Chain A
């Protein structure tokens, strides 16, 4: 049908020829200015000394690259980025799996906990960070519960883990909903027959739910790893972007480009981070074909 369509009834006018281009012009103009040009410019700037307004000055070749890469804060930032990626990826995914398996049955009252589990996704990060900075405050809830008087967010041995925990809490909502959609797509007959065969909740989970929800599970795992690579707001609000053990590449990008106005250094961090993100998303595409079972 598609192939032998009836011929156009009237002749193509100039307007007909131009019409598609007219529709896509705004899109591609913006794409050129705000996506393609910045990529080129970002690479270009790393080979120059930039001035205060971000214009490329003298050609410096790889000098800034060498300077950045040799610093210990660079490898520290990469390590921290991967630590966030791994911990937030695994942590958010596990919590979301647990909560969505708990909520998979639709019964009277299930909407209540379903809403509460997913609500963090609608909450802006900064107010949430504010509330958690109270929770972990000197006069906060955690100290009250444990009867301690610690400054949790100033303590270099635990604050990384606090950021991880709070971010897991924050990001869990959307993963929860994605997984819930996946789990609820499991046909009723399958669950019933598994029940008849005497499968317990664990067996049912691993042998019925997980394979059928595998597209969502796969998507959620990488969604969390990728968003963990970009985590920034929580770190900045809870601790700050000055050089410390909690700073990832995103913090360095912000610190050098927008606090210090060293744009070429900022661009180097931006490029490194983007290449990492790009590689992870390529891995995602590569494995998607092998791991995911599409019904």
Chain B
């Protein structure tokens, strides 16, 4: 008996060791960010002379963060990013959820043709539309506005597809029963189809958030003043050597703009996994 238990313990221990080795690998993988985090708390003068561990530990300071906070409207950058993400999430999901309903449930003329158009639009690479959309926005006077930053992202084939799929997943009997009871299409959409699709919408919202928060080229083209900069664009200003000549402050600025999406990611991880299962891969 003791022999068996010993054997069990050793495999168990092996597993524990394996977990710790993997955690170590993960820390090495993530180390650039961790080192950056440590160095962001080190005064600039020490970063220029290759600090030793001892000087780092004895000189930790939040001076870099204070300087960044005072020198740049970091709060505004974050606010702009959030507004942009929020607008795209609400409008893209709203417009997509409405447009998906007829394709899932109703018969109407030109349904197939219009659906083919959606498919064709999904095949068009986004790179080809940048220039013209920029010119359009300038013509409409939408440069340097939230609407200009978000309007082209209001429509997405992926969102339409996901909602269509989600509507189709609702048992048909439910709709038939509602119809027999005199429920109209609009009411069915608002009271049944939409609420039942909320889980898809939640994982989609997180995916959109990550995508929009990371958007770079489009906000770069549209945002013209620091009042409208998103985190990404503001960050680029901050690492510009003319504005932010030192590494310490640059790192502090980077850390400040990484915190929020990282927290959202860590808590929303399961939703993201689910979203990937639903939206990403067929099969």
Segment among B59-67, B195-203, B228-236 that sits at the interface with chain A: B228-236
Partner of B232, one of A110, A124, A182: A124
Interface positions of B from 86 to 129, Cβ below 8 Å from A: 95-96, 98-99, 101-103, 106, 108, 111, 114, 117-118, 121, 123-129
**Contact code string B203-219 (vs A, CB < 8 Å = 1, else 0):** 00000001001101100
B27 in the interface (beta carbon within 8 A):
yes
Name B's interface SS: helix
List the A residue with the shortest CB-CB distance to B277: A181
**Bound Cα distance from A258 to B138, whole angstroms:** 13
**Contact code string A144-166 (vs B, CB < 8 Å = 1, else 0):** 10000000000000000000000
Are A38 and B132 neighbours in the complex by a CB distance under 8 Å? yes
**Bound Cα distance from A110 to B257, whole angstroms:** 27
**Bound Cα distance from A270 to B126, whole angstroms:** 9
Among A16, A169, A177, A267: residue with most chain B CB under 10 A: A177
**Contact code string A1-45 (vs B, CB < 8 Å = 1, else 0):** 110011001000000110111011011101101111111011001
List the B residue with the shortest CB-CB distance to A172: B29
**Bound Cα distance from A27 to B102, whole angstroms:** 12
List the B residue with the shortest CB-CB distance to A44: B132
Among A113, A177, A230: residue with most chain B CB under 10 A: A113
Name A's interface SS: helix
Task: Output the least CB separation between A95 and chain B (Å).
Answer: 9
Interface positions of A from 204 to 235, Cβ below 8 Å from B: 215-216, 219, 230, 232-233
Are B29 and A215 neighbours in the complex by a CB distance under 8 Å? no
**Bound Cα distance from A232 to B127, whole angstroms:** 11
- Number of chain A interface residues as a range: 35 or more
Q: Enumerate chain B residues within 8 angstroms of A116, measured Cβ to Cβ.
A: 23, 26-27, 29-30
B281 in the interface (beta carbon within 8 A):
yes
Are A54 and B135 neighbours in the complex by a CB distance under 8 Å? yes
List the A residue with the shortest CB-CB distance to B128: A274
List the B residue with the shortest CB-CB distance to A276: B125
Partner of A125, one of B15, B20, B135, B232: B232
Q: Enumerate chain B residues within 8 angstroms of A21, measured Cβ to Cβ.
A: 102, 108
Q: With A33-B136, A35-B155, A274-B124 known to touch, is A144 a contact of B50 (CB < 8 Å)?
A: yes
Are A27 and B99 neighbours in the complex by a CB distance under 8 Å? yes
**Bound Cα distance from A121 to B264, whole angstroms:** 12
Are B261 and A122 neighbours in the complex by a CB distance under 8 Å? yes
Q: Enumerate chain B residues within 8 angstroms of A109, measured Cβ to Cβ.
A: 19-20, 23
Are A270 and B128 neighbours in the complex by a CB distance under 8 Å? yes
Partner of B102, one of A20, A26, A39, A219: A20
Are B26 and A117 neighbours in the complex by a CB distance under 8 Å? yes
Task: Output the least CB separation between B181 and chain A (Å).
Answer: 10
Q: Enumerate chain B residues within 8 angstroms of A23, measured Cβ to Cβ.
A: 98-99, 101-102
- Number of chain B interface residues as a range: 35 or more
Q: With A215-B283, A263-B135 known to touch, is A254 a contact of B217 (CB < 8 Å)?
A: yes
Q: Enumerate chain B residues within 8 angstroms of A273, measured Cβ to Cβ.
A: 125, 127-128
A167 in the interface (beta carbon within 8 A):
no
Are B235 and A41 neighbours in the complex by a CB distance under 8 Å? no
**Bound Cα distance from A111 to B103, whole angstroms:** 39
Chain B interfacial positions (CB closer than 8 Å to A):
15, 19-20, 22-23, 25-27, 29-30, 32-33, 35-36, 39, 47-50, 95-96, 98-99, 101-103, 106, 108, 111, 114, 117-118, 121, 123-136, 138-139, 151-152, 154-155, 160, 172, 176, 179-180, 185-186, 210, 213-214, 216-217, 221, 231-233, 235-236, 238-239, 247, 250-251, 253-255, 257-258, 261-262, 264-266, 269, 272-273, 276-277, 280-283
**Contacts A/B (CB < 8 Å), 30 sampled:** A19-B102, A23-B99, A30-B95, A30-B152, A34-B151, A39-B129, A42-B129, A102-B25, A107-B15, A116-B29, A119-B30, A122-B210, A122-B264, A124-B257, A124-B261, A126-B232, A126-B257, A131-B33, A131-B251, A140-B247, A144-B50, A182-B281, A216-B283, A230-B125, A233-B232, A250-B127, A274-B125, A274-B127, A277-B127, A278-B124
Chain A interfacial positions (CB closer than 8 Å to B):
1-2, 5-6, 9, 16-17, 19-21, 23-24, 26-28, 30-31, 33-39, 41-42, 45, 53-54, 99, 102-103, 107-110, 112-113, 115-119, 121-135, 137, 139-141, 144, 169, 174, 177-178, 181-182, 215-216, 219, 230, 232-233, 237, 250, 253-254, 257-258, 263, 266-267, 270-271, 273-274, 277-278, 281, 292, 294-295
